[in-house]
Amino acid sequence: MATRNINTNTQSGGSGGGASRQSMAVSGSAVKARQLTQLHSQLAQLSANLADTENLLRMTSVQAECMRGLGSWHGGLFMAASKVLGEESVQQQQQQGPPK
């Protein structure tokens, strides 16, 4: 079974506990500083990604407007082709006479 050493200097007025607390405080502040640095780095990356997303959405909006225009043009072409082809088929039916 493992044994644990318990520091009793803090209860008896020794200086070992104060040094231990101070080193823990220093290491705690170092950990906190490292975590804050990492958080700052992640926030900077998030900000850059959001800026990229904003630019991509703006471009998508422009492209959607262009696609709308293309759709209108194609719709017009299909209606014109339908009208022309419809008139040709009516003329062909008139020339051939009524179906028997």
Segment 27-75, tens digit of pLDDT: 888 999 999 999 999 999 999 999 999 999 999 999 999 999 999 999 9
Report the sign of the C-alpha dihedral through residues 65, 68, 72, 73, in that order.
positive
Q: Which residues contact 14 (CB under 8 A, 6 or more apart)?
A: 8
Q: Is the pTM of this model over 0.75?
A: no
Half-sphere exposure of 84 (CA within 13 A, CB side): 6
How many Cα neighbours within 13 Å face the side chain of 77?
A: 6
Give the whole-angstrom CA distance, residue 98 versus residue 15. Answer: 118
Tokens of 83: 């009208």
